[in-house]
Structure 1
Amino acid sequence: MTEGLTPSDRFWPKLPVGREFDRWLTVGFTRTVLVVVRTVTAGTRLLDVLSLLEDDHRIQVVFTCDEQNSAVFGSGVRDFLHELGVVVLPWEQAIRTRFDLVLAASENDRLHLLDGPGILFPHGIGFQKYYPGTTVVAGLHPERLRGCDHTIALSHHDQLEELRRIGPDVARRAEVVGDPCLDRLLANTHRFEAFREAFGGADRPLLTVVSTWGPDSLLGTDPGLFTELLAQLPVDEFAVCAALHPGITSAHGPWQLRTWLATARAAGLRLVTPAAGWQAALIAASCVLADEGSLALYAAALDRPLLLAGRPAASTVPGSPMAALAERAPRLEPDRPLHTQLRRAMDEHRPGRYRNVVEAAVAGSSAAALRGLLYRRLRLAEPGQEAEFAPLPTPAPPPAPVSAFVIGARPHGETVELIRFPATDTGHRLEYRHLAAHATRASLRQLSGAAIVFTELHEPEPFSEWAEAMLRRWPAAHVAAARISDTVCLTRDRAGEERELSLRADPLLAASLVYLGSATTTRVIAIGERTVRVTSRVR
């Protein structure tokens, strides 16, 4: 070890923070805020708070993490902070520096060592869980709350009673400011169409599956549920994304999680990164499948159709809003068809179904109350504009679509009903069953048995040569097809006839009409509960 450096200093270089470094600065800010990040979960919640300070040049925000007192789920914090591009102070420098405000989202941090007034936020929606194997409510550890003098931010007045049990001095330090995470979600609900498109659900319902960590969670109870969902849900009727608690990747590692979900991901599952994207996934959801974690309450607050999975959690606090939601929301029955249960949850949902549960967890809006608290602690006048939370980032575009489909067909005169599933090992009893496989992304086994080989082309000119080569290469294939736009597909059969087919859905659906020999007679394709018209012409 380099002489004079602690283990933390080797990772975080000393940075020019403190009045002795003023001459090195470009913007002459007058207040410094320190953000203590114990876990990725805590960090993402504090970003919602920090969005209320945007555009204020009087304030410099810096971050730190106490690596010598790291959390069990502390893995990933360093990468999270690096991706944010923030100034990160070594813990040893942070405890030697005076700050105008300290923000934290875990009472387990050594907050008493930091110099400056502080605000402590819960790292979930209120206080709904016990620490594992204890009867201590997470976020309300008595000794640690008595050991620091931070203001304690609450989401509801009823939580004051919990603090009074710890001690009157602790309760006097509390302020009810609502839930900034929920308010930021609500402030972005008008963007649900853009978010849904980002998750591949522009033309179909989006199922958002969320799992907290632990053996009672959705993932812990049934690790194969994601694969089963993707295998049972027709790809043209549902898009599926998953938002998993950062504690899962912290304990098992991102690589391991990706490999455990490899089949589901190949079948179209969009895996949201732990650090960001889950908010957009909840907003965009047509239905949410959740366990007894905070995201179930947020889904209820967004008034989304909800199904619960996983075991009833021993860590859920009896009498809490989460316990009330667990009693009221319908539960997934693994032995019954998943598609039917999801449709029923969506069809039977009534707006306001969980209003009383949400009102017991969060009291009032947060932006004005919380910004007022922040600026009082900073001893600054608030900005003149109305307090509001910043827009959430739009998720990155969805990954490549499914590489192989199992397709069934039911002709009815001028209409053909088509149903497509990812080509997993789960069997489906389908009429006129056939396989379509992507020319480069599908496996050798899938291509060897495919009736339709397909690709995407930006221009129609190379299609004839490509299609002829594919039909030579794959003797089992009856049709070569190329998607050349969102609505147009080109096909070539073994007789050499080429067609251009148009429809307002995935145009590759029309390749099945050529395989069935009904491209000239079919006028309508039925996909689940909707129908689309098809036009076809010989090239």
Structure 2
Amino acid sequence: MLFAARSAVALYRLLDVIPVFSGDDRITRLFTLVPGSDFGVDALSAVDAVGGRTLPWDEACARTYDLVIASSPKGDLPLLHGRHVLLPHGAGYNKSIPGEGSDSASGLDPAMLLRDGGAPIALHAVAHPDQVARLAFGDVRAARRAKVIGDPTLERALASRPLRESYRAALRTGPRTLLTLVSTWGPESLLRRRPDLPARLAAHLPHDEYQLALVVHPNERSRLSTYELKEQLAPALEAGMILAGPHEEWASVLIAADALITDHGSAALYYCAVADRPVVSAHHGGTELIADSPMHTLLRRIPQLGPAEAVQEALLAYRPGPGRAAAEAAFAYQGEALNRLRTELYAVLGLTPREFGSPLRLLPSPRPADRSPTAFDVHAEITTDGVRIARRPVGAAPAGHHLAVEYGATGESLTRSAGLLYRRPLPTSATRADLAWSSDGWAQHALSAYPGCRSAAAILPSGLCLLRIRGHADPYVVQTEAHDEADGRVAHADPAATASAVHAWLLAGGAPPPSLPVRLACHIGDRCFRVLLRPAAGDEAMQMV
């Protein structure tokens, strides 16, 4: 059996369906790269990553196979000998690509599906009955081998929904809103039209309230290279944005997401099928989007994003319904696709499926961001009951009340400019060294070594924070309570954030508080964290950090 792909994205679709033959020793799985695509550069490396055996194109054309499976009808695919099966290449067939065949949807073009003299198509698997109707409208002959089976890639996402919390834990999202951007490929994509949007969002959205992620179409990665893509996205990546991997990981990130910003690419439909959560359009017209396609239907019914600074208002304007309706227009047999496809493929082969085969594999956990900000412009507002703060990565937004810098994780220039220096606890193994700082010893050292610093905070392994203020005789401990969520969960604040709040409150008073302990409210977004400020005990001041 030969799996034929023209590009990395086509190969990823094939990898999602290969498990339908799981456990069957009668099947030999081979791969080949169909030449002619501008985006084939990453396909072979993807095969190597899964340990597959690849045939050179000339050798592949010289053999005959019991089945040739592809997820795109383009290129010289008819030169491969054997019964051909075409799988869905994407969700909904929403785009028409200029210069490809006729003006039909890419992947449903009769000009590419009708083969005179080439290997015939034994089965054309599609995801929804409307796609068969669109084939028949173009040319009834192209619809004769089409059969509705659903979408195998969606199948994995639907089955993986119970892993949402573990995905968010892997991404280190915490109580933040995970806002994901999705960008298709081509001149009308989000990244081509609004290349500065990720950086602008990173500058606008407070770090303790939002986490950013970006899903980029594999074709765009192939066009640029991952290195070049990361260089172009460097400001947002430095601010902690997650760049989802092109195979499997992107779907895990969509399951973890709380909200989505999309162009006219089909990835948004998978997000909408998994759950009806807020989705906002960043598509501003063009010639590629097909009228009355599922994505067209979705985009005209959801809020439009204007300036990046208006993103919260756009997300609040979303009303449930459009996302679910668009997904239903794109995907039939949700939850059944892989079993249906397994039945059809074995029927083409004339074989009975193995009894113990399992076609469903859950999505893996995504990787966290490569980088996390370690220096913040902290905007602080004194309230009647405490402090409201918003931390943004330094350099991404205007300067705030003070600069908070993580000691040992940032360059000397920012460290010397810090109003608040904070230190996170070292790994347990590191604190067992022969020479280590006590929490108060480090705080006093930091204030001595950096005369411009007003406060030093040592975060203890327990989550407590020892805080020294220049000019105050004794150290304090900042103890933050968890916030009870309405759904029964609890949210924890970053101790560095509440240290900034107490730093701002103490400096606003201009002198040590008259009596301790003192209870304050630390407002971060919609949450209020109760903070107890008290004198540090001797064992807390001597705790190793």
The verdict on a shared fold, with TM-score over 0.5 as the criterion, is yes
Q: Which residue of 2 aligns with 1:511?
A: 499
CA shift, 1:506, in A, is 0.6
Q: Which residue of 1 aligns with 2:206?
A: 234
Give 1:517 deviation, angstroms. 5.1
Q: Does 1:501 align with 2:473?
A: no
Identical residues among aligned pairs (%): 34
Q: Which runs of 5+ in 2 are unaligned?
A: 481-491, 507-512
Structure 1 counterpart of 2:377: 406
Q: 1:249 and 1:511, CA in 2 relative to 1: closer, same or farther beyond 3 A? A: same
CA distance 1:466–1:308, change in 2 (3 Å): same
Task: Decide whether aligned partners of structure 1 residues 449 and 152 sit closer, same or farther in structure 2, where only a CA change above 3 A counts.
Answer: same
| Correspondence for 2:410 | 442
C-alpha distance in structure 2 between counterparts of 1:62 and 1:331, whole Å: 45
- 1:282 matched to 2:282? The reply is no
Deviation at 1:335, TM superposition (A): 6.8
Query: Partner of 2:509 in structure 1?
Result: none
Instruction: Give the corresponding residue for 1:328.
Output: 301
Alignment check: 8 A CA contact 2:33 2:40 kept: no
CA 1:482 to 1:92, structure 2 compared with 1: closer, same or farther past 3 Å? farther
**3-state secondary structure, aligned to 1:395:** coil
Post-superposition Cα deviations, 1:104-150, rounded to whole Å, max 9, x if no partner, equal: 11111422222222211231113211123562421123333112412
Q: Identify the residue that residue 340 of structure 1 maps to in structure 2.
A: 313
Residue equivalent to 1:104 = 70
For each residue in 1:7-39, what CA deviation from the matched residue of structure 2 results, as whole angstroms up to 9, or x when unmatched? xxxxxxxxxxxxxxxxxxxxxxxxxx2211211
1:336 Cα deviation after fit: 5.2
- CA distance in structure 1 between the aligned counterparts of 2:14 and 2:306, rounded to whole angstroms: 36
8 Å Cα contact 1:239/1:268 also seen in 2: yes
Matched with 1:300 is 272
- Residues in 2 aligned to 1:254 and 1:215: alpha-carbon distance in whole angstroms: 18
Distance 2:425 2:3 in 1: 48
Q: Which runs of 5+ in 1 are unaligned?
A: 1-32
| Residue correspondence of structure 1 range 154-165 to structure 2 within 5 A | 154-165=126-137
1:309 equivalent in structure 2: 282
Asked which structure has the greater RCO (Cα within 8 Å, sep 6+), the reply is: 2
Of 474, 478, 486 in structure 1, the residue corresponding to residue 454 of structure 2 is: 478
Distance 1:516-1:426 versus aligned 2 partners, 3 A rule: closer
| Separation of aligned partners in 2, 1:180 and 1:442 | 45
1:356 match:
325
Distance 1:532 1:126 in 2: 44
Match of 1:225 in 2: 197
Deviations 1:193-249, CA, capped at 9 Å, x for gaps = 111222232221110111111222111111111011011101111111111111212
**Match among 463, 469, 480 for residue 487 of structure 1:** 463
CA distance 1:284–1:230, change in 2 (3 Å): same
Deviation at 1:422, TM superposition (A): 1.4
Deviation string, structure 1 residues 128-173 (Cα, Å, up to 9, x no partner): 1112356242112333311241221111112223322454443221
Structure 1 consecutive aligned stretches of length 4 or more whose deviation exceeds 4 Å: 385-388
Matched, 1:114 2:80: yes
RMSD over aligned CA atoms reads: 2.4
Letter in 2 for 1:404: A
Give yes or no for contact 2:382–2:505 (8 Å, CA) kept in 1. Answer: no
Tell me the TM-score normalised to structure 1 length: 0.86
Query: Secondary structure in 1 aligned to 2:134?
Result: helix
Q: Structure 1 stretch 472-481 or stretch 323-332: which is displaced more?
A: 472-481
Pairing of 1:2-401 with structure 2 (within 5 A): 33-66=1-34, 69-133=35-99, 135-147=103-115, 148-150=119-121, 151-302=123-274, 303-334=276-307, 337-342=310-315, 344-345=316-317, 348-350=318-320, 352-365=321-334, 366-384=337-355, 389-401=360-372
* Aligned mates of 2:22, 2:529 — CA distance in 1: 46
Query: What TM-score does the superposition give when structure 2 sets the normalisation length?
Result: 0.85
Structure-2 separation of matches of 1:301 and 1:312: 24
- Mean Cα displacement is larger for which, 331-340 or 269-278? 331-340
Question: What letter corresponds to residue 323 of structure 2 in structure 1?
Answer: Y
Is the deviation greater in 478-487 or in 204-213?
A: 478-487
Q: What is the Cα deviation at residue 387 of structure 1? A: 6.2
1:366-399 CA distance string (max 9 Å, x none): 1221111122123321244696521011112443
Q: Is the alpha carbon distance of 1:488 and 1:109 closer, same or farther for their aligned partners in structure 2, counting shifts above 3 Å?
A: farther
